[in-house]
Amino acid sequence: MQAQHQPLEGRPGAPDGRVRGAGAGSGAGPGAHSGTGSQIVALLLFLGASALVAGLGGLATARHVNGWYATADTAPWSPPNWVFGPVWTVLYTAMAVAGWLIWRSHAEGSKAALTAYGVQLVLNLLWTPVFFALYPVLGTPALWIAFGIIVALAVAVGVTVVLFGPISRTAGLLMLPYLSWIVFASSLNLWAALHN
């Protein structure tokens, strides 16, 4: 009989929301970040991380896109150079929002999902300087190293999509255009490695 008079707090399914399952939204609970201010700060941090990766990649690209790359043998399906900036801006923004949605969910599996997200971000950061800045130093081997990195990046983004999906369908969907673009960019990298 005594068990019937236990307080609801802390029991599974209690109204205080302490026990959360996958797919649950943000709210109170152990370690929950329910304040609007912390939500905004976190979103800005995710956007900032994407902007940092984009900015560092832009620095590596700027010196070489009009250098060796301007005379390189590029794939016939390669878009004009001006397309890359706007596309990457949209993809980095969508990626940041996806990461933020996972962070704020506090669902089971979100730590592993965010780890995969971090791995793909690091691989993304590595690819640009290897492809653009190392070619004048190493020649074609730099393009093959870059190809290995972008293939690993595609796998890491694929894993991220698979881990994001069950936690937040929106987050998983936001990562799909990025994955598609990475696969497309891989084909450009492979052509460059084979023909330069």
Most distant pair of Cα atoms in the chain: their distance: 83
pLDDT tens-place string over residues 96-155: 999 999 999 989 999 999 999 999 999 999 999 999 999 999 999 999 999 999 999 999
Distance CA 152, CA 166 (A): 23
Residue identified by tokens 């399914």 is 13
Please give the model's pTM, rounded to 2 decimal places: 0.78
Distance CA 146, CA 112 (A): 26
pLDDT tens-place string over residues 23-40: 434 433 444 455 788 889
Residue 27 has which token pair? 């709210």
In this structure, how many other beta carbons lie within 10 angstroms of the beta carbon of residue 165? 16
Residue identified by tokens 């020649």 is 139
Residue 6's SS3 state is coil
